Structures are given as structure tokens and as C-alpha cells.
Chains A and B, each alone.
Chain A
Amino acid sequence: MPAARLSMAARCRAATGIIDVIASDSLPQEAHILVVEDDGEMRALIAKFLRQNGFRVTGARDGREMWEVLAGAPVDLVLLDVMLPGASGLDLCRALRAKSGVPIIMVTARGEETDRVLGLELGADDYIPKPFGRAELLARVRALLRRSRGEAGDPMAGQAGERILFADWSLDTRRRELSAPDGTAVDLSGGEYDLLLAFCEHAQRVLSRDQLLDLARNRMAFNGTERSVDVMVSRLRRKLEPTDESPSIIKTVRGAGYMLVPPVKRGA
């Protein structure tokens, strides 16, 4: 248990911005990342930044170079820009997904909703809007690598047509949207979404604050503490159980943590 605490503390530190001195705890060293980006400067900067954080990085300027690298060496993760000369990032994403299960992060222009949804529909596992912060890039790369290695034991997100249903609520993982039983869209913050997803992936099981923090961190830079898990759960609950008559969705288990009460179904 103390060991777990320690590792948690390290993660928290990592996520709060001290990124240069990260003990990438559970990750094996030298994960190989392929950066597909047409802007040379940008490619070099991403590579330098990721190398500094303990990854092995290869750059590719376009689709042709990408295929060459993929043929030559095993790649653990592809960071794929949407805007590429020749075949667009979206086309490459589709082609790549047809051939292999390599984790893909799409780099989209901020605010381009269609790129994001399309990218996730075409099989990307995550997306990161450009311009991105260093902490965000690192957190997403780490989270996806951790998920792809099955450490957290949860299924990959971004499977085409994924929709999670619980107690007539519906969570669209492509659009990151929550709909109430009557179809009303209910807005969630990024952290709330990650937390809800963690609940859904472990429905009807009691999750401790530690575990929730861990699970949510696997998704993205959730820079929280146990206390902030409580705050986040109460915010999420306020949206899921707006009135006193609303059926209970998240239950507090005294001294143990929280639990998603209804069973979860996956639908198209």
C-alpha cells in the first residue's frame, strides 16, 4: 500500500507540471513513438521533447515515410497530424487502422470538431488539439501507452460506434458527450468525463479514491488529489442526479469509495 501511495504521488507531481524529472514509473523505457508531422521544426521539437522524457522517437514527414518506418521497426505509438501534404492524416489513420492495432493519437486543429470526431471514428485512440501544452502531450502519450499495454485493464477507447449505456443514460465516447434518459445533452468537463468513463468501465464495483485517480489518470492529465476526486464525484453526481427524485447513479460506499450503481451496456 505505501508503495502504491508513492507511485501515486509521483504521478501527481508529473501531472502538475514538473515534467522534466519524471520517473515514468510503470512504463518500460524506450517506448518507440512515431511522429508524423510535415513541419520540420515542429517534428524536431516534438521529438526532442519526447526524447527528453525517455521515449525513443522517429520522425516522418508524410505517409510514405511513415510506412517506411513502420516496415522497418516496431512502433508503440503513432502521433499523427491531420494536416499533411498528399494523403491527409485522416486517410493515413484509416489505412493504418486497417493494417494494425498500433495506438494512434491524432493531432487536430483546435476547434475543428469534425476532424476530431472523424479521427476517432476512423479508429484513432485519442486526439490532441494543436497547439498543445507540453504536459498535455506527455500525459496523453503516457496514458495511451499505459492503456494499450492493458495495465489498467480497460478496453481501448475509440472503437468505432462506441456508446456506453447505463440506466437509460448514454455516453458517446467518440464525441465525448453524455445524454440524459430523455435525450438532453448534459455538458461534462474533461475531468468529469474521464471519471465517468472510469466508472462505466468498472460498473457495479466499488472503486477507491486511489483507484479512481489512477483510472482517470490513464485517460489524460487529471491533476487531482484524493480530495479532488471527492469534489469531482460530487460535481458529476449533481449532473447525473439533478433532483431528489432522480435515481441513484453513483453511490458512496462509506470508508471504501464510490460505485456506479446501474449495469452498463455497450451499444452502437
Chain B
Amino acid sequence: MNPLRRLLPDTLGGRIVLVLLVGLMAFHLGSLWLHQIGTEAVLGTTREAQLAERLVAAKRAVAELPVDERDRTAHALSTASLDMHWTRAATVQPVQASSARIEALRSRLGELVPEFDITGLRLGYGEDGVAGHQLLGALPLPDGSWLNFSAALFRPPAAEHATLLSTTAMAVGILLLGLLVVRLIGRPLRALSDAADRFGGPGPVVPVPEEGPHEVRHAAQAFNRMQGRIDRLIADRTQALAAVSHDLRTPIARLRLRAGFVEDGEAARAIDADLDEMEAMIDSTLAYLRGETEIEPRKPADLVAMIETLCDAAADAGAAVTYGGPSQARLVCSPVTLKRAFSNLIDNAVKYGGGARVALQDEGREIQIRIEDDGPGIPEADMQAVFEPFRRLETSRNRGTGGSGLGLTIARRAVEQHGGTVQLSNRPGGGLLALVHLPRVRN
């Protein structure tokens, strides 16, 4: 991966903050620099003008005095920033290759104070430290003697601290601003992505609130329109499937009666068995479709009574189905929905595993139901696929057996509506285990 990409923050908020931070910091430092330059220029000019004026004044004062008083007066006129001596010969020698800076300074001094006569002025930098910190010079007096001077050209060191401080304050400010921006832009975006995640899951379709900045609002509107279109599409298909399933009942009802007039008792029984199968398919299809739209009201129910009814009915029909566990287990649930789930899991075990052992364990916070069979189990790769609607495995498990392929789908959805899970696994000794966890929600 691009190393630059790795440095880039992952979230939109992070990127906005980074752009803000880099951009505004550059802007801030740039303007600080420009400000500094400007201030220094003004300060420099002022200092240079001051220097020139003081030199002019000193020159005039010293030139008026008798020779033996000149050096003393020059000393007396000296300050911390400007040290002056009077000598007969110049202490500063004219430099052959004078630097451009010195020449510029010389002409500036002349321009700043017009009465300052810069002819014969010698200038140079002191050798004592870094170049530019001390300015040395000699000014010729009318009688050929010299007024020598050395001036400090220090820079204000406090500026460094101020820059650091203001830059830090700026960064903190940008970060706070960034967090605000992220909250403002990020929240509606997060709401949108949450809604996209929820879409297609259980529960009714919830439109995304259309708020936030224009682009996000626009995206939310587009999303809501798409959601509506998909919802209508599904509703249409569902209705079509439900209508077909529903309408099939009338011909089946007629066939059931007609079978009664068939002379051949064996044939009548076979027709009845076929009709039973068709009816079971229609029932499960309709139950599946109903589950999409209807939520059964919750009430406390005894799961054990429910499971016992199912086990007894299966046993009466000749299947080896047994129940083991406590004699009651209460749960606030949608009883018809949940009973269908258990019924489908037990039917599945009977159909493919030749029988079922159902066990229930009440663990207080949740109820666990195990449904075991001794059939061939399910290939590990298909463990999830069997929960898909209308999915039947192309293995020995379903050969010659009926069913709509909705049983496990309906069972899982019913259990998930209760906040629980259904897990299938092959038992070590052979056979399939369906494990249902149902949490008990305390109110």
C-alpha cells in the first residue's frame, strides 16, 4: 500500500481536520513570517535612522571641541548600543571588496538622514561574533581626524517564543473547530450508513432523517427513494407469491373432496398424502411471507408445554421424538411464531434424522433448547446455506423428501425476532444438533 495513504486519516472527519490543520497552519506561519519581516524592516529603519542621527549629532559636537576634549566627549555620548571613540587615525580600514549589505546600509543611512554626509564613511562588521551582530565604522571629521563607533545590531529573541505559542494555540483551535465540523457533517452521514445497514434486516423500513449539509441531505433523499423502490418491489413480489399460495388452497380443497370419490382406496390415500405435502408447502410459504410483515404480540408462555405438544404429535405420527428437561419454562414471547420455529426444527430432525431428542435447559438469563438427531448431518460448508430461503441441499439429506425449503429460514427468523440464535452443528458421534438460545429479557 502507498505509504502516503497510510499516513492519511481513515475517517472523513480526520481528513477534514488534517486539511484544515495543514492549510491553516501554513497560512498562519506564512502570515507570521510576513509580519515578522515587516516589523523587522520598520524596526531596522528606525534603528538605522537613530544611528545616523546620533552619529550626525556626535560628529557635530565632537568637531566643535578642542582636540584634548574630543575623546572624553565621544565617550560621554556613548551608550550601550553605540560606543564611540575619537582618534587621529581611523581604526577601521577601508575594505577593498565591500559587501553588498554594507554598501546598502551605507546608502540607507545617507537616505534616512539627509544631513548625514556619508562620504568617507567606513563601515564593517566586527570580528567578535556572528557576522551582522556588531557594526563597526569610522566617520571622518573636517580636520582629518576620525570618530570611530561600534553599534550593536541585535535581533529581538522573544519572537521565537511568541511564534511557538501562537502556532500551538492555532493548532488547538483548529482541532476544536475540526471536531465541531466532524460532528456536524459526520452525524447525518453516520445516520445514513446506519440506516443502510438496517435496511433488509428485520423490522419495518425506517426512512433516514433528511438533514445536515446539502450533499448529505441529498444522499439521504436518494437513499430514502431507493429504499422505497426496493420496498415496493419486494411488496409486489410478496403479494404475488402470497396470492398464488392462497389461491392454490381452493383447488386443493376441491381435490381433497374429489379424492373421497376415488374407488381405489390406495390411490385416495396417496392423493391425500400428496395434498398434505402441498398444503404444508403453501402453509410454510405463507408463514414465511407473513413473518415479513406481521409481528405477533408478546405474552408469557410456557415453552415446555409448547415443545411437549409438538413432541407428542410427532410421536403419535410414529416418529421417535422425545423430550427431556424441566416441566415448565416461562418466556415472554410470540407463542405461535416460536412454536412454528420448534415445529420446523423437530420436523427437520424427523425428516432427515429419523427422530429427535429435544432437551431444554433454563439458565435464568436465557433458555437453551437442543434438538438432536442421528441422521447424516450437514456438510460443514453448507451450515449457513441451509438457512437461506428455498434452499435445499443437493445431498442425500434431501433426496426424495419434500418440504418447501423454508423450514429453517422461518425457524431462524422466528428465533432472531426474539433476540436469540439458532446454530447447527454436526455432533461428534454423528447426527445433527440444532442449538437454540433464547435470551430472557427482564422488564
Contacts and interface: CB of A to CB of B under 8 A. Distances in A.
Contacts of B235: none
A87 to B, nearest CB: 20
Nearest to A136: B256
Interface in A218-268: 235, 238-239, 242-243
Interface in B237-295: 246, 249-250, 252-254, 256-261, 272, 275, 279, 283, 286-287, 290
B260 A134 contact: yes
B216 interface: no
Interface in B298-353: 299-302, 304-306, 308-309, 312-313, 327-328, 330, 335-336, 339
Contact of B299 (A19, A185, A239): A185
Interface string A19-33: 110000000000000
B286 A184 contact: no
B305 A239 contact: yes
A239 B246 CA distance: 35
A243 B362 CA distance: 15
Nearest to A243: B327
B313 A187 contact: no
Given A131-B252, A133-B272, A46 B257 contact: yes
A185 B308 contact: no
Given A48-B261, A113-B336, A243-B328, A185 B302 contact: yes
Nearest to A113: B336
- Count chain A CB atoms within 10 A of each CB in B252, B275, B304 and give the residue with the most: B304
A134 B327 contact: no
A239 B283 contact: no
A41 B249 contact: no
Interface residues of chain B: helix, strand, loop or mixed (majority): helix
A183 B261 contact: no
A180 B330 CA distance: 11
A45 B262 CA distance: 13
A189 interface: yes
B250 A39 contact: yes
Contacts of B309: 187-189, 192
A192 B308 CA distance: 12
A110 interface: yes
Nearest to A180: B302
A130 B328 contact: no
A207 B305 CA distance: 25
Contact of A189 (B283, B302, B312, B327): B312
- Count chain B CB atoms within 10 A of each CB in A19, A184, A239 and give the residue with the most: A184
A68 interface: no
Contacts of B254: 39, 41-42, 45
Nearest to B250: A39
Nearest to B333: A185
A132 interface: yes
A186 interface: yes
Contacts of A189: 309, 312-313
B25 to A, nearest CB: 68
A137 B181 CA distance: 71
A89 to B, nearest CB: 15
Contacts of A242: 302, 304, 327-328
Given A109-B246, A131-B275, A134-B257, A186 B301 contact: yes
Contacts of A192: 309
B301 A185 contact: yes
B215 to A, nearest CB: 47
A235 B261 contact: no
A187 B327 contact: no
Contacts of B256: 131-134
A235 B339 CA distance: 18
B300 A131 contact: no
A45 B258 contact: yes
Given A182-B300, A243-B327, A110 B283 contact: yes
A187 B335 contact: yes
Nearest to B296: A113
Nearest to B328: A242
Contacts of A184: 300-302, 330
A46 B261 CA distance: 11
Contact of B249 (A48, A49, A109): A109
Nearest to B326: A242
A239 B300 CA distance: 15
A111 interface: yes
Given A42-B254, A111-B287, A132-B256, 19 more contacts: A45-B257, A49-B257, A110-B279, A110-B283, A131-B250, A131-B252, A131-B275, A184-B301, A184-B330, A185-B299, A185-B300, A185-B301, A187-B302, A189-B312, A189-B313, A235-B308, A242-B302, A242-B327, A243-B327
Interface of B: 246, 249-250, 252-254, 256-261, 272, 275, 279, 283, 286-287, 290, 299-302, 304-306, 308-309, 312-313, 327-328, 330, 335-336, 339
Lowest 8 A-B CB distances belong to which pairs?
A: A131-B253, A45-B257, A242-B327, A185-B301, A187-B306, A242-B328, A184-B300, A187-B305
12 contacts: A39-B254, A42-B254, A52-B260, A130-B250, A133-B272, A134-B256, A184-B330, A186-B302, A187-B302, A187-B305, A187-B308, A192-B309
